[in-house]
Structure 1
Amino acid sequence: MTGRQEILAWAYLSRVTEPPCGELADLVRRTGPVEAAERIRRGEVEPGLSQRTAARRHHDCAAADLGLLQRRGGRLLTPDDDEWPHLAFAAFAGAPVRDKPQGYAPLALWVVGPLRLDEVTERAAAIVGTRVPTAYGEHVASDLSAGLAEHEVAVVSGGAYGIDGAAHRAALAADGVTVAVLAGGVDVYYPAG
């Protein structure tokens, strides 16, 4: 097994089912990413996981995704990487979050940007809200974000229109760090409009 095989397996696993997927996380924990990916491709997994992966099992675009990510100057992070933001996911620990059994950390993170994600998330705060805010809501989000940035706290949001966008713009205007957490994938621009 090579490092390339592992990173391809992680990339495949990150797309093979809708996250979070406890059954997939458990399989990876038991067998490792390469063996987990092979078992899923062959359909040799428990019935519940087989059902959750059936639609995507044979759609392996890991190499293409990683190529696109590399061209964009990004990297794929896994829990095995020293840059993995362990502290940010400590609350998950495979245990239910807010009484929801699907409370699992992501299998991998597709990251674009020059800063180390583990260092950024050590001092970070999330500012999120409606996509259709009032002027006052945008003002408050901007003030909060600028204040956080001035105190060297990274602003994390979802990159959407409205409060999220106001938070990102204010952090950047204050020469701060901002992180956009996007669920769409490395090949999907968000927001679309």
Structure 2
Amino acid sequence: MDRGLIMGEPSMKPTSNRSNLRVYSSQRKNHQILVMETGGKRKKGSSGRKGGGPKKKPVSRSIKAGLQFPVGRIGRYLKKGRYSERVGSGAPVYLAAVLEYLAAEVLELAGNAARDNKKNRIIPRHVLLAVRNDEELGKLLAGVTIAHGGVLPNINPVLLPKKTDKPAKSPTKATKSPAKATKSPKKA
């Protein structure tokens, strides 16, 4: 098939033929026209892609980063929230990694608290016990109220019964009180 006839330029001649790239040039009314063509056949349905290989499966940014949390959704929330005019490409990945780490840490401690209470299911009480018993998480979530979490068990030592050093005296003899021992004479 003659390339010049397709383009409507009968005088187009190939100027270069390196491997898969062919460059055609033509002079027409003081204009030089360059047409570049790549070798290889295009498949139907390639939708603008070059090459005839099979279409690659799309890979999410979460999978690329090795995360469970959604990088794309977090990026969308960052843009939608108007925290800044521009959001870098690494910011949602970093934020997703931090959130995933914190969630894993809280869930691990809450799972331990549930196991200590002989339960198989984590409830808000276990989350509260996990967060409040951990120094760093307790500091991070100091102003947070967890619904149905309750409070940490704590009794002020002043309210506890006093411990005595001496053992309590046990009565050895049943002694009568002096008032009962001496009977007053009956008045006649």
* TM category, shorter: under 0.3
Q: Which TM-score applies when normalising by structure 2?
A: 0.20
- Structure with more contact order per residue of length (Cα contacts < 8 Å, sep ≥ 6): 1
Task: Give 1 or 2: higher helix fraction.
Answer: 1
